[in-house]
Amino acid sequence: MQEIVPTRIVIYAKDISNITGKKERTARKIIAQIRRRYNKKPGDLITIYEFCEHTGISEERVRQFLTR
């Protein structure tokens, strides 16, 4: 029986660093900006959708990058 791996909906600083080519500290700043934009508390998770809305990068391209 094949195991079905669910698609991830959360994005982390390391992912943002890899996608943008920026350092991880800058990626954490981007996450902080997204949290402020969406009125989230420190420590709340950021979704791929929120990241894409904030940066203008298409969700399809981000998901392709994360599945490699």
Separation of alpha carbons 53 and 37, rounded Å: 10
Q: How far is CA 6 from CA 3, 32, 45, in A?
A: 10, 26, 17
Tell whether 48 is covered by a domain. Answer: yes
Give SS3 for 20: helix
Tell whether 3 is covered by a domain. Answer: no
The per-residue pLDDT for range 29-56, each reduced to its tens digit, is 999 999 999 999 999 999 999 999 999 9
Tell whether 2 is covered by a domain. Answer: no
Mean pLDDT of 2-19: 85
Tell whether 4 is covered by a domain. Answer: no
What is the domain extent for residue 14? 10-66
Tell whether 26 is covered by a domain. Answer: yes
**Amino acid symbol at 54:** H
pTM, entire model: 0.86
Q: Residue 10 has what pLDDT?
A: 96
Reference 13, options 4, 22, 5, 3; nearest CA is: 22
Separation of alpha carbons 36 and 31, rounded Å: 9
Mean pLDDT of 3-9: 72
Query: What are the tokens at 36?
Result: 């402020």
The per-residue pLDDT for range 12-30, each reduced to its tens digit, is 999 999 999 999 999 999 9
Domain count, the chain: 1
Tell whether 46 is covered by a domain. Answer: yes
